Amino acid sequence: DHEIEVYGAFYLQSVVKKLYDMGLGSCWITVDGIIPSQVERLLAGQPGIIQHLLVFGKPEKKDSKGDKHKTIVNCDAKYEQDPYGLAIISTPDESRLSVVETIFLKTWGNVAPYEEMEKRGVLDLLYYVRNSPSYQNAQPCRLILKDGYGELCVINPEQEENYTDAGIMLFFLEGLAKEMSFPSNWHFIQDDSDNAEYRRVAHFDL
């Protein structure tokens, strides 16, 4: 059920945020392929399914020498680093998709120009939201800007983990929208189309 996957990821990411506020590190573990007897043992007789485990603890300090990641500081933006514990990073292989690769205007595939996003006042918000973590850095989420709202979509909708990534992005989108005084209301979209390229996941107000 894609709705359960989206909301489950959204609320589990809220736990990650609480752990971060407590100075604890955390890590999602995907349990695809776990054998039924292990599932039964973990559920301890309670009904339900298990898709992910969350491991947390006190992180060790790492030597920063040789670390290829670096924090991006955008001096023209209000937020140099988002308030949800996600470092805005860059890598030498430029593994992160750019804003114009992930944001469309009104229709799928119609690239949203920087000027249009600036005119709508959403460029900073969308710049940071695109850095939401995703499984194996696949970055499956795309945003379609409409008039007064947007739609979150996932590419390759046959891949279940993409809906988990959408839930995580919605957590960052809602939180950052609140911090930046945008409306932060969103709801799940049940897209039953047969579109193999992408599916809509959520409607959010802007």
- Mean pLDDT within 179-194: 92
pTM here is 0.79
Q: Rounded to an integer, what distance in angstroms lies between the CA atom of residue 29 and that of residue 16?
A: 13
Domains and CATH numbers, the chain: 2-205 (3.40.109.30)
- Mean pLDDT within 84-106: 67
Give me the residue label for tokens 């399914």.
49
Determine the straight-line distance between the first and last CA of the chain, rounded to whole angstroms.
27
Q: Indicate whether 33 pLDDT > 50.
A: yes
DSSP H helix total and E strand total for the chain: 6, 9
Q: What is the pLDDT of residues 118-169, one digit of tens each?
A: 999 999 999 889 888 888 889 999 999 999 999 999 999 999 899 999 999 9
Lowest mean pLDDT among 20-29, 83-92, 138-147, 157-166: 83-92
- pLDDT-derived band of residue 28, with 50, 70 and 90 as boundaries? confident
Note the pLDDT of residue 42: 83
Mean pLDDT over each residue of the chain, to the nearest integer: 82
**Top-confidence residue, 47 or 6:** 6
- pLDDT-derived band of residue 53, with 50, 70 and 90 as boundaries? confident
- Mean pLDDT within 176-202: 93
Question: If you write DSSP's letter for every residue of 32-65 in order, what string do you get?
Answer: TT--HHHHHHHHTT------EEEEEEPPPPPP-T
Long-range contacts of 83-89 (CB under 8 A, 24+ apart): 83/175, 83/176, 83/179, 84/17, 84/20, 84/171, 84/172, 84/175, 84/176, 85/16, 85/17, 85/20, 85/21, 86/131, 86/132, 86/133, 86/172, 88/128, 88/131, 89/131
Note the pLDDT of residue 86: 42
- What percent of the chain is predicted at pLDDT more than 90? 50
- Mean pLDDT within 178-189: 92
